[in-house]
Amino acid sequence: MPTKNPLDKPLEEAVLEAIALELTAGNVFVLDRFDLARRAAMEGFLQGIALAEKILGEMAADHEHAGERDKAALLYEAAEQVRTLPEDLP
């Protein structure tokens, strides 16, 4: 179950627990469903990360083709930072 202070954990963990709690609120089988809801939230979170990396890469390519190399470099760097997020998030 979630910890008392949300500041005692990484942002990803706090978001996952908030989503899982919202999905299981009022459910008689909360303890059984919490882990399933948490895993579903994690899958959505990972898909969002992958989509963000793809969009940043496409934006960088567009700026590069437009001759805006400084903007492209910043966007490529942002895409790389998103790509290198740990895959073993809590």
Asked if the structure places residue 88 within a domain, the reply is no
**Closest to 89 in 3D by CA, of 29, 11, 24, 5:** 11
Reported as a single tens digit per residue, the pLDDT across 55-81 is 999 999 999 999 999 999 999 999 988
pTM summary value? 0.59
For the cut 60, the answer to whether the pLDDT of residue 28 exceeds it is: no
* The pLDDT value given to residue 46: 82
Give the range of the structural domain holding residue 50, as residue numbers without chain letter: 6-83
Examine residue 33 and state whether it is found in any structural domain, yes or no: yes
Domain count, the chain: 1
Domain membership of residue 34 (yes or no) is yes
Q: Is residue 1 part of a domain?
A: no
Does residue 49 lie in a domain region? yes
Q: Tell me the per-residue pLDDT of 38-52, one tens digit each, with 9 for 90 and over.
A: 777 788 888 888 889
Note whether residue 23 is domain-resident.
yes
CA neighbor of 34 nearest in space, from 20, 45, 48, 46 = 20
89 domain residue, yes or no: no
CB atoms within 10 A of CB 61: 14
